[in-house]
Amino acid sequence: MKPPLTDLPIKTADTGFYGGFSVNVTVVSKIIISVLVVWCIFWPVQAGAMLSTWNAAILNNFAAWYIWVVAFFVIVCLGLAIWPTAGRLNLGQDGEKPEFSNFSWFSMMFGAGIGVWDANLGCRRAYCAFQKQPSGYSRRELSFEPRQRARGLCLVLPSLGSGGLGVLRGGRSFACVL
């Protein structure tokens, strides 16, 4: 068996700000992002129209492919979860102990889920702050009338996804999102 590929012929900077990174990749990426930001700042209408066109084209051409890929990964994950010997597979060298315990792995997975949820909620709060609010709601608080709460749940729950539903913080999340 061949040893794993660890030494790749990628030219990286030895010292300085870009130490350990490929200067070509980082500088080109910074230039592309800077041009995009400047374009959006100085020509917001044209940039919005062009980016919306690109977004629609990407969704029209790749949405079905994305759904099939996600379905494939879900099926593979379910298959691995159901297959009893998958949990006994050793991914390291023979006889090597895992670097982390099961508790550590579950903690990392939980932390990653919370991080994704918080990033999603943080972006959604900023985005929703600039959008017109649904009638009957103010930006700072949600009415506590039962009918209004039910309507708020119907508006918010589809945007939360399955990950966020497990970590709702006592209803405050609904008020923050709306």
Check residues 35 and 171 and name the one with the higher pLDDT: 35
142 within a domain of the structure (yes/no)? yes
pTM: 0.45
Is 34 among the domain residues?
A: no
136 and 148 Cβ atoms separated by less than 8 Å: yes
Mean pLDDT of all residues in 71-100: 85
Q: How confident is the model at residue 170 (pLDDT cuts 50, 70, 90)?
A: very low
Does residue 17 lie in a domain region?
no
The pLDDT, as a whole number, for residue 101 is 86
pLDDT score recorded for residue 56:
92
Please report the pLDDT score of residue 165 as a whole number.
47
CB 134 within 8 A of CB 178: yes
Least confident of 14-23, 115-124, 132-141: 132-141
Domain assignment of residue 33, yes or no: no
Asked whether the predicted pLDDT for residue 178 surpasses 60, the reply is no
What is the pLDDT at residue 157? Answer: 54
Domain that holds residue 175: 96-178
Task: Say what percent of the chain tops pLDDT 90.
Answer: 26
Q: Is residue 127 in a domain?
A: yes
Count how many domains the chain has. Answer: 1
What tens digit of pLDDT does each residue of 27-79 get? 999 999 999 999 999 998 999 999 999 999 998 999 899 899 999 999 998 99
Flag whether 81 is in a domain.
no
Tell whether 38 is covered by a domain: no
3-state secondary structure labels for all residues of 119-160: HHHHHHHHHHHCCCCCCCCCCCCCCCCHHHHHHHHHHHHHHH
pLDDT at 47: 92
In a domain, 151, yes or no: yes
Q: Are 22 and 10 in contact (CB under 8 A)?
A: yes
